[in-house]
Structure 1
């Protein structure tokens, strides 16, 4: 027995020694090949924009993409990349848990974070990294780990060869027993850069559909992923086959399942609408926006309705706006989309239906009482036929960093970033004071703050709010339109210049 224990101990000791030797050798080789360089290495700069839906939403009009374009215009002789990594609906728990793998994957020189607003609505779970910060930093810098990661990626794709496959007709059973047939008799090119084999993914979707489990687990999402092209094939098929179908609810639920398997969570039809915003052919963007409306998706894409409503309001077609809002009103209740319902009250008032607006508003306040995320209803009142902010209101954003767990998470996020040798730029939301953010991170080195209060207060008025934001989900700010993204991007560029990032 003693010999067996000794042999086991010797084996594990030898294995650890070998792994440490390989790691040390790789680190020495890496150092020997490097010359001390400034943060802008080899004339390049890689910036990671990390956050929630305010970072994720939009395409060319999102602040990371506007920032990238602005930096490229100012510094055309440099290779600049701004990577957009937003997790819609995420809190600091999720972002903290995902951070090490994200840093390992993208290896940024700078990380800009704008997060914390979703903590206001509750912070369930622990979500903390359980390894010590020293070990976390080591793992991020480990050459052996990077080598194993690259080997894994290579192994995943080495056996994939483009070929033509024909998919059979797929029948999915809705929870009430109705059958939805998806015609997949289409020749699809299979390969790493086009479409992947649907069979395993369809099986997973079918199982989830039959069980009624629409909230697929993260593991299932990671295991079976469709790429963007494959997802688009399904979107088009569903759109064409069911555009006249009354079963919008089933179509929406199935569509959400399809989206769960995309590599990019933000690639919804509404995201396609943003993608085509700057294209000369406006029919493409209208097609995708209308597709989002038709599919009647969940709370995330209820904002697609609000986007279309915005068009009607600008054109003073209030009746059309009301009709569109009524289409999704029950779904907004089910998904507890308070912004959507608040917009409905505004439309009723614009139509001079004050009595109906007041009645609905009182009912909504009763419904909102005690519910997380519905505090915005109590910031408003109806006076003289208008929806106005009440005196003494508290915006959602004022509750930022009031949760000790949020503070600890943000500090941990900053430590993970800076201990990996990366410069951290914590950025505050528009119209919100930078002071609380500075207070919780001031003792962490390699941090440079980006404020967005003065610049927005100087440009924003009550009359032009809708030109900056598409909603009011945080009270005094919402999801960004192009104008807001430009203001944020300019502020970031100014801070980068002040820190002489491009002078090093």
Structure 2
């Protein structure tokens, strides 16, 4: 018996010693990595600083107007003497945070950056090809186990030997899907099989193969969706003339296909050809528009500050279909215009409708706050936060909606926190923000990305999306030396109030913001440059 106890104690001591050794090794590695991360000196005496920008379409799209390109110019114009900045745009349209983390090692090996910036998470749960169940909240014993380095070492070795080769499993899964769609196209020749296969290729950054599939479909069966999807592919690659050509082909051949109008309008707004947008909206409505098209027309007028035209378009949409979406949008606009009674009638009608989302409750709560009915506003926001937190992600094919997106529960939480602050209850305000959990997929992938970037690079700039509060990101990422944040909430809200929504965004893909125009990219670039210069180089941007 004593031998058994001695053996158990010996094993325990050995495991503890190994755990301590692994942690000390990690500390030594991080310190050595900091030394390796010292900025290299060029032959002319200047130090070269390479910045790697990671993200999805919010980062990738825009060519020379995209924020990474503008960031390089700003840093080189305003950075410390003797430093030369090179900014690499490694963003890819349409990907989610899992793809960014999956490809992180490859990007770090390829570019060997001195600083990494990242803006990700908006696509998580939207058209994702990963298993979202893996991001469900794990039991506490599992989370504690994952903090033990001995366990993680054993798990790593198991993965190395192929016992848990998740990467290979996912690759096999994608290969099987590709074969199935190829087989279906050969057997049935249905257009939707080609559309989905092209989307699968785009998600894997196999754009040439996606283009080939769509061109073959257009030659065999020229449907509107193929032209529109090919236009989006070209637009993501900054082949804007080709994109416009296919959008116009879809419009000319299929007059009733409204998404092609919307995508072309979005492209023209990005190109600054605003004088061509109004005739397109007229053509869209003449083609037999549905309620959704009138809502998009209303959004366009509202973004330009033409509120009377916006209201008329919203009213027309409501005549065709009295949906919670149109009621909420018009109610929100009337609230901003100070027409409280009309706004309240529309928002209460929206909340009572089947299919009403959290946003209807949030807008009605805003109205209640304006009219000092704080208790009712609080009840509405508690319901909205719970509804947003527990609702399933929306899986919507792009041709049905260009801005459908699960509502971020933090939008409700922030409004509720404002009520508590107004009441002087700061503790409740803090608790309500802490209670709303971030998207588990985004949370998990940010944790992985931070660990990997800090181990290899040592400097990470985390960028929040336009108009969104910074609190969710800071809740996901513990305070850590070398990690800095870029806040894009206040500057964008002020710019929208000053210049109008359409001056900064070309669509509403994330509900409260969209893909940015050149001016929007400039705001992100300036904010990011300001943080990099101040936090990492102890200087300021004029």
- Per the normalisation by structure 1, the TM-score is 0.56
Structure-2 change in CA distance of 1:71 and 1:208 (3 Å): farther
Q: Deviations along 1:352-378, whole A, 9 cap, x unmatched?
A: 59677425237666386xxxxx99758
- Displacement after TM superposition at 1:468 (Å): 1.2
For residues 71-103 of structure 1, the C-alpha deviation after alignment (integer angstroms, 9 at most, x for no partner) is 233359654332223343443344333433333
1:411-464 deviations in whole A, cap 9, x for unaligned?
222222223334211111222222232222124443111111233344331652
Matches within 5 A, 1:89-108: 89-108=94-113
Partner residue of 2:160? none
Give the equivalent residue in structure 2 for 1:403.
438
In structure 1, the residue matched to 2:471 is 435
- Residue 112 (structure 1) aligned with residue 65 (structure 2): no
Q: Label 1:418 to 1:67 Cα distance change in 2 as closer, same or farther (>3 A).
A: same
Residue 496 of structure 1, CA deviation: 1.2
Mark the CA change 1:444 to 1:205 in structure 2 (over 3 Å): closer, same or farther.
farther
- For residues 307 and 225 of structure 1, do their structure 2 counterparts lie closer, same or farther at Cα, with a shift above 3 Å needed? closer
**Cα distance in 2 between the residues matched to 1:53 and 1:328:** 31
- Classify 1:409/1:300 alpha carbon distance in 2 versus 1 (closer, same or farther; 3 Å): farther
Matches within 5 A, 1:443-462: 443-461=479-497
The answer to whether the Cα contact below 8 Å between 2:261 and 2:284 also exists between their aligned partners in 1 is no
Q: CA deviation at 1:63?
A: 0.9
**Which of these residues, 196, 199, 202, is aligned with residue 215 of structure 1?**
196
Query: Higher helix proportion, which one?
Result: 2
Number of residue pairs the alignment of both structures matches: 372
Q: Which residue of 2 aligns with 1:67?
A: 71
Q: For the residues of structure 2 that align with 1:325 and 1:457, how far apart are their CA atoms? A: 31
Give the whole-Å Cα distance in 2 for the aligned partners of 1:40 and 1:298: 53
Distance 1:204 1:222, change over 3 A: farther
Shift of 1:307: 4.0
Give the 3-state SS of the residue equivalent to 2:87 in structure 1: strand
3-state DSSP of counterpart to 1:417: helix
1:280-291 aligned at under 5 Å gives the runs 289-291=244-246
CA distance in structure 2 between the partners assigned to 1:417 and 1:71 by the alignment: 21
SS of aligned partner of 2:65: coil
Distance 1:413 1:293, change over 3 A: farther
Q: When the two structures are superposed, what TM-score results if normalisation uses the length of structure 2?
A: 0.53
2: CA distance between counterparts of 1:385 and 1:294? 43
Q: Retained in 2: the 8 A contact 1:92–1:115?
A: yes
CA–CA separation in structure 2 for the residues paired with 1:348 and 1:37: 50
| 2:249 alignment partner, one of 258, 281, 294 | 294
CA distance in 1, matches of 2:83, 2:272: 43
Q: Report deviation, 1:316.
A: 9.4
Are the equivalent residues in 1 in contact too, given 2:462–2:485 (CA < 8 A)?
Answer: yes
Alignment of 1:343 with 2:303, yes or no, is no
Structure 2 residue ranges without an equivalent (≥5): 1-31, 136-145, 158-181, 252-256, 348-362, 367-383, 385-405, 412-435
Q: What is the CA distance between 1:381 and its match in structure 2?
A: 5.7
CA RMSD of aligned residues (A): 5.4
Match of 1:125 in 2: 132
Residue aligning to 1:485: 521
| Paired residues of 1:117 and 1:474 also in contact (CA < 8 A) | yes
Q: Work out whether residues 120 and 396 of structure 1, in 8 Å CA contact, stay in contact via their aligned partners in 2.
A: no
- Cα deviation, residue 252, structure 1: 4.2
Q: Which residue of structure 2 lines up, in the alignment, with residue 16 of structure 1?
A: none
Q: List alignment gaps of at least 5 residues for structure 1.
A: 1-30, 140-202, 260-264, 274-284, 369-373
